Amino acid sequence: MGVVLGCMSSQFFSCLASLGCSCCCAACRHIKVSGSIGTRISYAAMFLLNSSIAYAMTTSWGIDLVKRISWGFITLKCPEGVCYGTLAVHRMCFSLSLWHIILGVLTLGVDGSRHQRAVVQNGLWIFKFIGWIGLAVLAFVIPNGFFEFYSKYVAMGGAGVFLLVQLVLLVDFAYNLAEACIGRWEDTERPLWRNILVGGTCAMYAVFAIMTIADFVYFARDGCGRNQFFITANMLACILVSAIAVHPRVQEANLKSGLAQAGMVTAYATYLVTSALAGSPEESDTDGPECNPLARAASARATMAVVGAFFTIGAICYSTTNAAVKSNTLIMSSGNSAYEALATDDPNEMPLTNSQLRQSALREAVASGSLPESALTDYDSDSSSQDDEKHGVQYNYTFFHVIFSMASMYAAMLLTNWNSISSTDHIIIIGRSTTAVWVKVVTSWLCIALYMWTLVGPVVLPDREWA
């Protein structure tokens, strides 16, 4: 039986592989990807392709679609867990996760594009694509027992770590965006940036207020105690963290704190709660109160299925590629770069980038006579070329693949609604399960707690250096 299932799964993936390979090869002839940004976009595209195939395997509708497209010539008869269902999704995402782990090991210690193993990261796309297909086929011949353990422990643990990475990136993004607007306002003295900062903050709190009111109106009816608790707890926590952000002692210890960052965090936390309530499954007791009126609306279900899938996968792609660049924020190290940020007397002054540090060092060496003037010309020509990693990598390659590996686990948990999809459903709506509801709500609490720690941390531990 295992050999038969393996052959059927191999045939199924041969069709998908041929189609995907043809599309990718045709695109590669016309599009030349170069530079660190192009490399990250290519890996994000691979993640999007893998997640799309995994989403098609949530139920048997993907197999039915292949049959309709081929006018009945391709008929796949696979049981649940092999070609569709929870374990099938985990098989597909496991192949990509293992693929990134292998690439992370192969690129360990690479410090520039001139390194011999740098081509593993930035090139050899045909061989890497074939390797991914091979791992996908291999994953579908592994016994179900392995993936039952993998989905309950390994994938769930990796997804939890990636959730924390997303929250750190969110808080870091809130601070950076507010600082950028303030910096532009101070440099240019144009009221435009002040209006953007103030208007954006007001918009975030308006979103918070509108979503909170809508939650109370639609999801907090009499008898819906759990929903009332979620909405009230989130509202009080958002008000509390906003008050702490403008407290005099907090602003004295943390000059970057303010309502702009708090507004973004409260809006995101409220969105998570609203999304969780809107994705609550139907209550089995029909005599009880209707705590989620969207659960039985057919149009709402279809919209949530499409929008939820694209938004979720897109958000993961952004978070994953951004996490590689923000490795210093996440692991508190300088990565593989050979240059450190110079300390300045002004605490509000942004540290120089690696490119600026190199150019400054070259100018000082030329001025002192240690290097000829041609060194500056050579550096300028290198900087204008498409390769932006000749003098050092823009991000840690190994850390990049570790993040993508955990993102694949997180995608598998999302697509299976945290291992709770039903084979009787024709289309799976991401987030439509009790487990997914609790994951989103707890994530909103962790988001507020993490941001609150960035506010009270400098007050509680003033001797520690805070990034």
Q: Sorting pLDDT into bands at 50, 70 and 90, what band is 211?
A: very high
Mean pLDDT along residues 201-227:
90
pLDDT of 97 above 90: yes
Both tokens of residue 303?
């919209």
pLDDT of residue 160: 85
Three-state secondary-structure class, residue 338: coil
What are the tens digits of pLDDT across the range 24-81? 444 444 444 446 778 888 888 888 888 888 887 776 666 666 566 656 555 555 555 4
Least confident among 184-193, 219-228, 321-330: 321-330
pLDDT band at 252 (very low <50, low <70, confident <90, very high): confident
Confidence band, pLDDT 50/70/90 cuts, at residue 99: very high
The pLDDT tens digits for 136-150 are: 888 888 888 888 888
In this predicted structure, the answer to whether residue 457 has a pLDDT above a threshold of 80 is: yes
- What's the whole-number mean pLDDT along residues 335-363? 51
Residue with tokens 């924020």, as numbered in its chain: 329
Of the CA atoms within 13 Å of residue 407, those in its CB half-sphere come to 30
228-256: b (≥16 Cβ within 10 Å) or e: bebbeebbebbeebbebbeeeebeebbeb
What is the C-alpha to C-alpha distance for residues 120 and 310, in angstroms, rounded to an integer? 29
Closest to 451 (Cα-Cα) out of 267, 213, 226: 267
pLDDT tens, residue by residue, 366-375: 566 556 655 5
The reported pLDDT for the residue numbered 22 is: 44
From 103-117, 220-234, 399-413, the region with the lowest mean pLDDT? 103-117
Whole-number pLDDT of residue 118: 82
Q: What is the mean pLDDT of the chain?
A: 74
What's residue 343's pLDDT? 44
